[in-house]
């Protein structure tokens, strides 16, 4: 548990501000509840979330000997670990394979983006298998569950933070709104500064210093929570709000501009680079789960705005062109993050995971001369680094065309069990839904033993 040093006696102005907070229901009992943490793990997970579904054949599970209609446009290169090859577009990662492992035999059955994401992030299989599904989760994701298991931090730093935002298809459900992830915003923005600490429900810091706005804000929040059946999360929300607002160190954790210019350059002055840098700062400060919404390294692109590399004549989407554009951003940002956690001695504390919701079809498709691959949940790869795990290896294997696992089939539940183990969360524990029914965090899945040192 992080210890917060005493800053000395409070000023009269500070005391009055805290008193004003109490008028809105933020009483001393809520403050003490936030500060009275039991002993919890101080480990963190950074998820580089490649929504859209990165192709296994153009990243970490290449098949150079497959027929031409399968193997794709790129060639593999040797890494610094004999026998491990990855895509030629990742020369920086190739020099760091001793610091990561690849899990090549992950698979599930959900072929839509939302359903696949829900499977991977919550460990619960959605009821629908509709490839056009736009479902949102009926269960909380692993960041929300970890926030619940860890309890409120005494310093007010959120346990679950999304950069620029948390995944859009998951929700806290029966845990309550207090466990929703905190959206950090875009750290690559030209004038990015520590966020105003806007809280779930739309309440902002300046509202806490105006009694009328504060009370009105809580009334609106309670009304919204009542409608969503999430009122149970309000106490957690209030406690977190008070702790965040009374600790200036929280703003410092978000201040990437405090990093040396050389460090910011090493990560890359682009969205993915600065997201990875901010994620490292937040993990170092003690946040448990940080997700990087790695849709595209630049916002607002009409094409290549995600990893969903279908062959499309309009607006001109091509798998090879998209990979050539995004790969250098990924290679730089992820390599810098991996180096940083090792060089700063945080490779046991911080676990980095890079993956998406599924892989892509082994057989290439074409459309008006453009290449692409469609959704394919039957085979996908994840990269893991740090976390005190065994690095420099490949776990599992797919067949000669990257269609299906042929060795050590693994599921998203196994990956989540590995993540929960690192975070110190008992994934066999039961939660209770809004009807009082017990729900196990994971119904299946075990930590991947090849990764455990």
Q: What is the structure's pLDDT at 133?
A: 73
Per-residue CA distances from 259 to 45, 155, 165, 196 (Å): 21, 22, 22, 20
| CATH code assigned at 295 | 3.40.720
Segment 107-161, tens digit of pLDDT: 999 999 999 999 999 999 998 666 667 889 999 999 999 999 999 888 889 999 9
Question: Does the pLDDT of residue 25 top 80, yes or no?
Answer: no
Residue 51 scores a pLDDT above 60? yes
Do 245 and 264 fall into the same domain? no
91 within domain boundaries: yes
Predicted local confidence at residue 260, as pLDDT: 97
Q: Is residue 114 part of a domain?
A: yes
Same domain, 57 and 101: yes
Report d(CA 310, CA 113) in Å as an integer: 13
Q: Which structure tokens are listed for 276?
A: 């990875």
Q: What is the pLDDT of residues 349-405, one digit of tens each?
A: 999 999 999 999 999 999 999 999 999 999 999 999 999 999 999 999 999 999 999
pLDDT at 33 over 60: no
Same domain, 294 and 208: no
* Domain presence at residue 415: yes
> How many residues would you count in the chain?
453
Residue 162 structural domain: 43-170+255-451
Q: Using an 8 Å Cβ cutoff, are 53 and 111 in contact? A: no
- Helix/strand/coil for 367: strand
State the DSSP H helix or E strand holding residue 160, giving kind and residue range, or none if neither.
strand 160-163
Q: Is the pLDDT of residue 75 over 70?
A: yes
In a domain, 295, yes or no: yes
pLDDT of residue 16: 34
pLDDT at 201 over 50: no
Verify that 166 and 233 share a domain, yes or no: no
What is the distance between the alpha carbons of residues 368 and 353, in angstroms, rounded to a whole number?
36
Tell me: do 25 and 141 sit in the same domain: no
| Residue (of 362, 361, 351) closest to 66 by Cα position | 362
Same-domain check for residues 312 and 441 = yes
Q: Residue 1: is its pLDDT beyond 80?
A: no
> What pLDDT, on a 0 to 100 scale, did the predictor assign at position 116?
97
Residue 325 and residue 437 share a domain: yes
**Is the domain of 148 the same as that of 97?**
yes
Give yes or no for a contact between 170 and 122, defined as CB atoms under 8 angstroms apart: yes
Helices of type H across 246-378: 249-254, 261-267, 271-285, 319-343
Q: Quick one: average pLDDT of 12-21?
A: 36
Report the pLDDT value the prediction gives residue 249, as an integer from 0 to 100. 81
What share of the chain in percent tops pLDDT 90?
Answer: 71
pLDDT tens string 266-313: 999 999 999 999 999 999 999 999 999 999 999 888 899 999 999 998
> Is 388 among the domain residues?
yes
Domain boundary pick from 222, 251, 280: 251
Residue given tokens 């954790």 in the structure block: 253
Same domain, 246 and 269: no
Task: Name which of 205-219, 362-376, 414-428 the model is least confident about.
Answer: 205-219
Residue 436 to residue 55: CA distance in whole angstroms: 41
Tally of domains in the chain? 2
Residues 6 or more apart whose Cβ sits within 8 Å of residue 226: none
Work out the end-to-end distance of the chain between its first and last CA atoms, rounded to an integer number of angstroms: 24
Pair type for strands 397-398 and 405-407: antiparallel
Q: What pLDDT is stored for residue 127 in this prediction?
A: 81
Q: How far apart are CA 82 and CA 79, in angstroms?
A: 7
381 contacts 415 by C-beta, under 8 angstroms: no
Joined tokens for residue 21? 């907070």
Query: Left (φ > 0), alpha (ψ -120 to 50) or beta: where does 173 sit?
Result: left
Residues 246 and 383 in one domain: no
For residue 189, tell me if it sits in a domain: no
Would you state the pLDDT for residue 247?
73
Averaged pLDDT, 226-240: 53
- pLDDT higher than 50, residue 13: no
Q: How many CA atoms lie within 13 A of 213 on its CB side?
A: 9
pLDDT band at 244 (very low <50, low <70, confident <90, very high): low
Say whether both 31 and 68 belong to one domain.
no
| Distance of alpha carbon 412 from alpha carbon 291, whole angstroms | 16
- How confident is the model at residue 24, as a pLDDT? 35
| Domain end position, chosen among 235, 251, 267 | 251
- Judged by average pLDDT, the poorest of 7-11, 307-311, 443-447, 449-453 is 7-11
Verify that 317 and 374 share a domain, yes or no: yes
Work out the number of other CB atoms within 10 angstroms of the CB of residue 207: 21
pLDDT tens across 147-197, in order? Answer: 999 998 888 899 999 999 999 999 999 999 889 999 999 999 987 765 554
What's residue 152's pLDDT?
87
- Contact (Cβ atoms closer than 8 angstroms) between residue 358 and residue 377: yes
Residue 243 lies in a domain: yes
Residue 8 pLDDT > 60, yes or no? no
- Of 63-67, 90-94, 215-219, minimum mean pLDDT range: 215-219
Mean pLDDT of 94-115: 97
- What is the 3-state composition of the chain as percent helix, strand, coil, each rounded to the nearest 5? 35, 15, 50
Where is the domain boundary, 234, 251, 268? Answer: 251
Rounded CA separation 10/33 (Å): 20
Give percent of the chain above pLDDT 70. Answer: 78
Residue 184 lies in a domain: no
> For residues 205 and 168, is the Cβ–Cβ distance under 8 A?
no
| pLDDT given at position 15 | 34
Distance CA 325, CA 332 (A): 13
Task: State residue 14's pLDDT score.
Answer: 38
């Amino acid at each position: 548990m992080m210890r917060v040093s005493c800053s000395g006696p409070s000023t009269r102005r500070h005391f009055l501000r805290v008193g004003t907070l109490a008028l809105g229901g933020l009483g001393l009992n809520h403050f003490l509840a936030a500060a009275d943490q039991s002993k919890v793990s101080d480990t963190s997970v950074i998820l580089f979330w490649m929504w859209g579904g990165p192709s296994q054949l153009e990243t970490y599970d290449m098949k150079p000997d497959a027929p031409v209609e399968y193997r794709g446009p790129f060639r593999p290169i040797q890494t610094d670990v004999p026998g491990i090859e990855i895509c030629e577009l990742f020369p920086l990662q190739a020099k760091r394979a001793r610091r990561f492992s690849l899990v090549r035999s992950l698979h599930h059955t959900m072929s839509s983006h939302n359903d696949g994401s829900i499977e991977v992030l919550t460990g619960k299989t959605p009821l629908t298998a509709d490839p056009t599904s736009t479902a949102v989760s009926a269960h909380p994701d692993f960041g929300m569950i970890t926030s619940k298991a860890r309890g409120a931090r005494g310093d007010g730093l959120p346990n679950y933070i999304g950069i620029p935002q948390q995944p859009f298809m998951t929700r806290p459900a029966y845990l309550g709104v207090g466990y929703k992830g905190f959206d950090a915003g875009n750290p690559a923005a030209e004038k990015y500064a520590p966020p105003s600490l806007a809280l779930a429900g739309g309440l902002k810091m300046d509202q806490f210093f105006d009694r009328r706005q504060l009370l009105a804000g809580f009334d609106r929040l309670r009304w919204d929570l009542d409608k969503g059946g999430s009122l149970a999360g309000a106490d957690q929300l209030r406690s977190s709000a008070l702790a965040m607002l009374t600790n200036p160190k929280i703003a410092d954790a978000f201040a990437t501009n405090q990093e040396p210019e050389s460090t910011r350059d090493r990560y890359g002055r682009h969205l993915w680079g600065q997201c990875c840098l901010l994620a490292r700062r937040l993990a170092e400060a003690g946040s448990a789960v940080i997700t990087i919404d790695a849709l595209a390294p630049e916002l607002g692109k009409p094409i290549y705005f995600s990893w969903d590399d279908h062959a499309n004549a309009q607006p001109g989407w091509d798998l090879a062109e998209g990979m050539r554009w995004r790969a250098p951003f990924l290679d730089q940002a992820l390599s810098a993050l991996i180096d940083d956690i090792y060089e700063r001695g945080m490779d046991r504390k911080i676990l980095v995971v890079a993956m998406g919701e599924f892989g892509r079809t082994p057989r290439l498709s074409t459309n008006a001369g453009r290449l692409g691959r469609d959704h394919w949940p039957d085979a996908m790869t994840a990269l893991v680094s740090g976390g005190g795990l065994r690095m420099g290896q490949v776990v599992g294997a797919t067949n000669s065309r990257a269609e299906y696992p042929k060795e050590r089939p693994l599921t998203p539940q196994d990956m989540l069990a590995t993540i929960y183990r690192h975070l110190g969360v008992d994934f066999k524990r039961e939660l209770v839904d809004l009807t009082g029914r017990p729900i196990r965090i994971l119904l299946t899945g075990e930590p991947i033993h090849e990764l455990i040192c």
